[in-house]
A and B are shown apart, each in its own frame.
Chain A
Amino acid sequence: MNNRQIYLCENDLEGIFTAVYEAWSGKHPHSQVEIRTREPDNLEFFCEYHQVAKDEEKYRKVDHTIRRKLGEKVYEEICYAAAASEEEKGTAIYQTLVEGLGRTRPNPYVMQNLRNPYIRTVARLYQKVWYEYHHMLGFLRFREVEGDRLVAEIHPDSDLLLLLAPHFSSRFPGENWMILDTGRKTALLHVKDGGIQLKKNVVLSSRYDRTCHQKGEYEELWEEFFHSISIKERENPRLQKQMLPLKYRDCMVEFQN
């Protein structure tokens, strides 16, 4: 009866937390539990598979427990790690929570235990997603369509939209804007002086297509600025590439030539 218990869930925070709830209440030995966010290519022997459907209430319970017992900092690291594209994140989050909550008393310093490989994985994924998030805060570009709307297209490795929402709503409360993740086909929509929502299966209509629009006045001014601010005697494309990796550039107007 030492089969591995594999929980399959949807690839977002709500899905993973629901799976954590289900797996925990399944009362298996913790070390047997794995959480996966992708359907396996091959079924393996000595494994029991459990399909987990999203459940808002179970998600909330897990969410609440983590925040209350482990604190906001641990919660933040887990949320960022859950946005990573790596498949190993589910199991790592589960085993980290086992370390933090499964002992006699909760340990808010659980993330310091970097000797534990699962915690190390969560810490590594947190860092990776955080870097991409932080890069995106700066490298994302809005362009104006139909006068008063701002549209940004991104295609990050990690699922960043929900993480980006607080920053941009605080920054541009009085604008209608949209950030589109072209890879995942999800979009964050913000209405002027109103709320913000996440939409799935969004495709940009062809009239907003970047390629059929000419650069606007301020895009051209920005390009002018971008070139004149560089010091010729110091030119260093390697350093530039190190600081601003190529993968970000195809969404940035100053690199469109």
Chain B
Amino acid sequence: METIIQKRESLGEKLRILSDAAKYDVACTSSGVDRQGSRKGMGNCLASGICHSFSADGRCISLLKILMTNECVFDCKYCLNRVSNDIERATFTPEEICRLTMEFYRRNFIEGLFLSSGVKGSPDETMEQMIKAVWLLRNKYGFQGYIHLKAIPGASQELISQAGFLADRMSINLEFPTAEGLKKLAPHKSRTTILKPMKAIQLRAQENKRELTLYRHSPRFVPAGQSTQMIVGATGESDYEILSVAESLYQKFSLKRVFYSAFVAVNPDRDLPALPQGPPLLREHRLYQADWLLRFYEFKASELLTPGQPNFNVLIDPKCNWALNHLEEFPVEINTADYHTLLRVPGIGTKSAWRIIGARRYGGLDFEHLKKIGVVLKRALYFITCNGKMLYSTPMEADYILRNILDPRDWKDHQGRDFHQMSFWELGGAGRF
């Protein structure tokens, strides 16, 4: 009896330590692959992904996000698990990982497993252990849910290729947008050890696509694609640099997602910023919005930002920011503009753009229709016309639009950084009062 209690405690302890150590990894999505369950095993996948809970920080919990071990031979300055930190260390056995995943999955707590690891021994040894756990899960336990596997920087191509046939998604963290940042803060990693496996995964996935067209039932290699993560605000890089890196990752490495993680200071270090106001969450949010614009709204990084204006105005979203700098493209006529033009209007998303296109086949649309279709008129009204008329006769002036779009609570924070600073008397003339 006593030994059982002892054992249970230790699994709980391990789970606490190894999930705590994994929490700074942001990717917790379970999207990108559709898979029906089969009679034999347990589990299926939905391309949209499913969120199973939300933790106190408001982030989605979709996967059992754990490290295999938090022992690590690397000494990355930003990382809680670096070798020079004196913290509790623990290691899961492959069987323990399987048991937790299966039992959590059965109760519908999770959508699958997110397995990362500190580097114990060598990158290859670590990768082998991770593969062993995932292999057991797939083959002994018949698990068909979602698996996101981290590739360990420096692991051999052969191992990464093996892992890719077991996982739905793989990722390697780029960590920092610039090579200098990486060199300074992660002395054991280099651009090559990160980008080489990333390229290898991309090439293998392309090859797999050709195999699949020939043999429909051949095994699939990372069917949900590859992702990566960058830390925001630990080194001095600008939004423009970050976004340009993300754009080239999407184009050159065919990544599915790039995640941004506001830097959380876990280690005091003279090379790291102190951040007394907490992590740069708003900046992270704006980067995600801009990332969406790259992936779904046909924007280029160089349209959103320029070397001359390398950072977003955190008070307004990147699309508004772009629109205010390109007033010559507005107003847009809702009843005639094409999809691509509609997408660029603040307050119109992909869904409402499609709805506008579909609905106007049945007759002209007015502002009342737009409101019911789901267009955010609060933002859109400055940029659109319906049958040649604007909703109110608002002027096409960046200053005017900006101060009307801004939440009045933010006015005091708005330093007039990008636009002309308002005086009190000018404000008095605005339509809002």
Contacts and interface: CB of A to CB of B under 8 A. Distances in A.
Interface string B126-140: 000000000000000
B106 A236 contact: no
A231 B264 contact: yes
Contact of A114 (B59, B64, B359): B359
Contacts of B48: 134
Interface string A14-41: 0000000000000000000000000000
Contacts of A209: none
A219 B57 CA distance: 21
A189 interface: no
User: Which has the most chain B C-beta neighbours within 10 Å: A109, A141, A231?
Assistant: A231
A167 B301 CA distance: 39
A224 B55 contact: no
Interface in B283-319: none
B113 to A, nearest CB: 12
Interface stretch (A60-68, A79-87, A170-178): A170-178
A193 B362 CA distance: 49
B109 A141 contact: yes
A38 B40 CA distance: 44
A114 B15 contact: no
A173 B44 CA distance: 10
A139 interface: yes
Interface residues of B, number: 59
Interface stretch (A50-58, A69-77, A237-245): A237-245
B37 A150 contact: no
B24 A174 contact: no
Interface of B: 8, 11-12, 15-16, 19-20, 22-24, 36-44, 46, 48, 50-62, 64-65, 100, 103-104, 106-109, 111, 262, 264, 278-279, 281, 355, 358-359, 361-363, 365, 369, 372-373
A208 interface: no
Given A138-B53, A240-B58, A221 B23 contact: no
Kindly state the interface size class of chain A when it binds its partner.
Answer: 35 or more
A171 B37 contact: yes
A109 B358 contact: yes
B372 A225 contact: no
Nearest to B30: A138
Contacts of A193: 39
A234 B57 contact: yes
Nearest to B366: A115
A44 interface: no
A142 B60 CA distance: 19
Contacts of A234: 57-59, 262, 264, 278-279, 281
A244 B358 contact: no
Contacts of A120: 372
